[in-house]
Structure 1
Amino acid sequence: MPLLSADQLTIQRGDRALLRDFDLRLAAGELLHLRGANGIGKTSLLETLAGLRRPAAGQCRLADEAAGLHWLGHRNGLNLQLSAIDNLRFWCGINGASPAGIDAALAGVELPARARRRACRSLSAGQKRRSALARLLLQPRPVWLLDEPLDGLDAGGLALFAALTQAHLAQGGAVLMTSHQTLPAPLAARELIL
């Protein structure tokens, strides 16, 4: 049984259909790399699968609704006035997660200690991305939906992302991500081009 599925999905933007009668299966241990031109509907598809947008037709299902999923948009979802620590405290509060793991999560994404307490507006693009990726480590969820997660990451960040993703897949998780970049080694993915 797939961890995430979509059946006969139709997604519209205004009066234009981005996807029509779209089916998807995402299995445990699978990395699916969603590709396509800008404006084709990649982000809209991820938002629909995450429950942030209603499909015009069809349905999406998580195998374990109670376990939920992680959504990470390309804008990171950070309040730039708050520090990485305070952003994660807020995230924990609205998601019912324990804030006790914040320091470990930030260490896990290798955000320098001096950057953790600074307002996110003063962080580099890569440090902001690492701050956002730390949410993936705060609360285990089997499905990760990631929109352009490689943006802003340097070589060390790309290697870190690959390691986090491999560990998640090895534990039976699944990842559906968009990226215009080549995936960092040694990640291997099934590709879906819209």
Structure 2
Amino acid sequence: MSFSKPNASPATNTKNRVSPSPGSGLCVVCLDGCIGFCEVAKSAIRGRELIYPQPYGKVVAGSEKDYPIDFSHFNIQGTCVGAVGVEADSDKATFPAVDVSTEVGGKYKIKLDVPFFTGALGSTDVARINWEENAVGAAICGTIVVVGENVCGMDHKAEIKNGRLVKSPEFERRINSYKRWHNGQGTI
């Protein structure tokens, strides 16, 4: 069972002409001569232009999956009285006194001050423009910041010699902006 909406999405500016088949996402009546509203037809005509949401580099796209459950179905039955691990005194039981640190990894552990890390921020303009804020925030929080896989490939000032990357100013900028604020926990 899939909760995806296959073959049509506002992210790729595609839609079905008529109701889609749940298995393929193709229109239940795929019409010969259709001008191609769906992802299959548009990608056949426009190629890789349809791989990424448009305009590329200017948008952040979310999933259209509609699961039959969401966070509103969860109730956290917390309490505002008592304390565990610290004296039940409002001057001592404060947010900074809470320890949510953890570690990740197998043989070689990475210590984190908080139990989360960033999503990959890759080669889009959105990621490039907002990198500094995300990297500094992750460094201050003591967590992992993830550099996307194609940053060097999209860096117009990158230098490649003998099939190897020898310099990427954009990659260096991203690494250094994290390192300037790194508190010793977390990593890149």
TM superposition score normalised by structure 1: 0.25
Which structure has the higher relative contact order (CA within 8 Å, separation 6+)?
A: 1
Structure 1 or 2: larger strand share?
A: 1
Structure number with larger C-alpha Rg: 2
Structure 1 or 2: larger helix share?
A: 1
TM superposition score normalised by structure 2: 0.25
